[in-house]
């Protein structure tokens, strides 16, 4: 293929340095900011710099390489048009570049591509073709269309001109350090999909500041580059995880592999929970929401610091993209606390008898800190449905102060007479079980269903439990902290009909807003005995 590096002579960092210094990117790209992540830096005791490629017109670094490649095409090539395969960000870069250069662009995208990226490409004038489940599948289809239509293929990563365009990020970063009055940079963390970004960054840094480490970051379920370097040859993955769709590449490029093998200092893999936590970290410091691929570098910095116990060093993370699908935010928010290990999840068995729930709540209130904060521990989730005459199974989430605390809490529960299983790192529990606790119960007679709004403060549930009559039994309980100043709770209570008047007085005396849902058809279908 014409875009591949000539076999006669492999380009060296000095060659790439020249190509980067003369790259044409600023016709469409901007010099993105390099900012200190103040909150994150303070928390991990190292200076963290964020290279804000989310500020690009297409909210991704891909614009740089795509335009640089297209700007070097002949008028004849531009007349026939360009074609590319992309998970989305490269596609927007090609579409915008084609629009600027006045040429036609066909974009082949995986069927898994978030709608926000598809619509963005169409808005820029690109013609979208959906094919396959991953970048590699889309790439194969694009090559077929390239030959059929006589167009020029703009590779998202495996092309020297594309690599040089991405390398301008490193050029900017080193220059911007002076503006921040920083002279030290210990390592740059770079997300890897096909390897175009890290190849460009590594070539520039190793040519100019070879003492700076270049560390590649991949998802643990999409680590094609890491596996390839370890084996000394390119490895094709059978499947890749799709959470970080921007880095979901089964086979890295020939040129990017050669460069990475020779110039990248080390590699780190991160998991989904760590990436979700990193997205939150970026938001806290910038008020911007990056996509999963854009947060990989931040997740890796946190992991690197935790493993190497570093202090006082300076690390840069490239926020490579911010084309986040809005529908994913619910998942990200839920998993961020677990990823940071600020939340622990448990399955706890308690006796099915009046007062046991209160005793369990009292135990939660008296939990030791286990090395974390001594502030009151909050319940983040509580799911329970009566199902057995002797024992009850409760799904509960608790805030934690330090990593590794969940196992100590589970052990403390068990020693206190409540058998507990730590589910903090259980994917089935986190993804599904937490939403499925419940169902019909043959034991839930004389049950009344109510929705409450409790103030989001310690002791609110305990106030409720202490005010209840001993003869009233909780048969269902569901609560999930949503980050508001009040919590929404669904509760089932077994109340004898003779106590209806007293129960109404109890509800009115609480001072908590409530709605009775006993006659709700959804309750009757899914939860009523």
Per-residue pLDDT reduced to its tens digit, 133-166: 777 788 889 999 999 989 999 998 999 999 999 9
Residue 255 buriedness (CB in 10 A; 0-12 / 13-18 / 19+): buried
Q: What angle do CA 388, 394, 396 make, to 5 degrees?
A: 175
Residue 335 to residue 273: CA distance in whole angstroms: 6
Give the pLDDT of residue 195: 96
Total tally of structural domains belonging to the chain: 3
Tell whether 473 and 500 lie within a shared domain.
yes
Distance CA 172, CA 174 (A): 6
Q: What percent of the chain has pLDDT over 90?
A: 53
| 179 and 197, same domain (yes or no) | yes
pLDDT of residue 466: 77
Q: Is the dihedral of CA 247, 253, 258, 261 positive or negative?
A: positive
Any domain includes 8: no
At 374, the pLDDT band (50, 70, 90 cuts) reads low
Kindly report which listed range (152-166, 235-249, 278-292) carries the lowest average pLDDT score: 235-249
Question: What is the pLDDT at residue 6?
Answer: 47
User: Domain check: are 179 and 288 in the same one?
Assistant: yes
Among 297, 332, 367, where does a domain finish? 332
Mean predicted confidence (pLDDT) in 221-241: 93
What is the model's pLDDT at position 3?
53
> Both tokens of residue 70?
């297209």
**Reported confidence tier of residue 456, pLDDT bands at 50, 70, 90:** low
* CATH code for position 23: 3.40.50.1100
The whole-angstrom separation of Cα 159 and Cα 25 is 15
The domain boundary, picked from 160, 190, 224, lies at 160
pLDDT in tens, 253-275: 999 999 999 999 999 999 999 99
Residue span of the structural domain in which 247 resides: 13-57+165-332
State the pLDDT confidence band at 453, using cuts at 50, 70 and 90.
confident
For residues 104 and 118, what is the distance between their CA atoms, to the nearest angstrom? 17
Average pLDDT score, the chain: 88
Structure tokens at 404: 């590794």
Note whether residue 452 is domain-resident. yes
pLDDT, tens digit, for every residue of 461-514? 777 777 788 788 888 888 776 665 667 788 888 899 999 999 999 888 887 888
Neighbouring residues of 64: CB distance < 8 A, sequence distance ≥ 6: 23, 25, 29, 56, 93, 165, 166, 168, 169
Last residue of a domain, one of 129, 160, 191: 160
Domain co-membership, 498 together with 383? yes
Same structural domain for residues 72 and 27?
no
Lowest mean pLDDT segment, chosen from 278-282, 291-295, 348-352, 439-443: 439-443
Residue 529 scores a pLDDT above 70: no
């Amino acid at each position: 293929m014409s875009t591949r590096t000539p076999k006669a002579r492999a380009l060296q960092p000095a060659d790439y340095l020249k190509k980067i210094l003369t790259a044409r990117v600023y016709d469409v790209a901007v010099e993105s900011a390099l900012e200190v992540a103040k909150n994150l830096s303070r928390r991990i005791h190292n200076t963290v710099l964020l290279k804000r490629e989310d500020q690009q017109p297409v909210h991704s670094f891909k614009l740089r390489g795509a335009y640089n490649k297209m700007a070097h095409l002949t008028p004849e090539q531009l007349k026939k048009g360009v074609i590319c395969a992309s998970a989305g960000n490269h596609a927007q870069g090609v579409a915008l570049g084609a629009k600027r250069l006045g040429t036609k662009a066909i974009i082949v995208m995986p069927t898994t591509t978030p709608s926000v990226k598809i619509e963005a490409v169409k808005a820029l004038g690109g013609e979208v073709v959906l094919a396959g489940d991953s970048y590699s599948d889309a790439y194969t289809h694009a090559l077929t269309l390239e030959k059929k239509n006589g167009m020029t293929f703009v590779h998202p990563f495996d092309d020297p001109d594309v690599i040089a365009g991405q390398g301008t990020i490193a050029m900017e970063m080193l220059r911007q350090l002076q503006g921040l009055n920083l002279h030290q940079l210990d390592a740059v963390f770079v997300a890897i999909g096909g390897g175009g970004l890290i190849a460009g960054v590594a070539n520039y840094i190793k040519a100019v500041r070879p003492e700076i480490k270049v560390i590649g970051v991949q998802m643990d379920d999409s680590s094609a580059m890491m596996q390839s370097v370890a084996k000394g040859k390119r490895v094709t993955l059978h499947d890749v995880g799709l959470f970080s769709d921007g880095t979901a590449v089964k086979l890295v490029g020939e040129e990017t592999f050669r460069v990475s093998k020779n110039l990248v200092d080390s590699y780190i893999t991160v998991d989904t929970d760590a990436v979700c936590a990193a997205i939150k970290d970026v938001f806290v410091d910038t008020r911007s929401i990056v996509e999963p691929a854009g947060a990989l570098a931040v997740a890796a910095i946190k992991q690197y610091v935790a493993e190497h116990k570093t202090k006082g060093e300076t690390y840069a993370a490239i926020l490579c993209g911010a084309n986040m699908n809005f529908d994913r935010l619910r998942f990200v928010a839920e998993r961020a606390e677990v990823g940071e290990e600020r939340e622990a999840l448990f399955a706890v068995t308690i006796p099915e008898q009046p007062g046991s729930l209160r005793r369990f709540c009292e135990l939660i209130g008296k939990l030791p800190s286990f090395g974390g904060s001594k502030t009151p521990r909050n319940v983040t989730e509580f799911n329970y449905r009566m199902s057995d005459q002797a024992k009850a199974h409760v799904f509960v989430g608790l805030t934690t102060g330090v990593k590794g605390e969940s196992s100590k809490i589970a052990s403390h529960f068990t020693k206190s007479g409540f058998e507990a299983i730590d589910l903090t790192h259980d994917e089935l529990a986190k993804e599904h079980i937490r939403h499925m606790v419940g169902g019909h119960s043959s034991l839930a007679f004389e049950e009344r269903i109510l929705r409450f709004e409790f103030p989001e403060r310690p002791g609110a549930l305990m106030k409720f439990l202490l005010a209840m009559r001993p003869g009233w039994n909780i048969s269902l309980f569901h609560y999930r902290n949503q980050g508001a100043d009040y919590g929404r709770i669904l509760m089932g209570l077994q109340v004898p009909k003779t106590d209806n008047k007293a129960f109404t007085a109890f509800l009115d005396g609480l001072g908590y807003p409530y709605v009775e849902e006993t006659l709700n058809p959804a309750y009757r279908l899914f939860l009523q005995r």
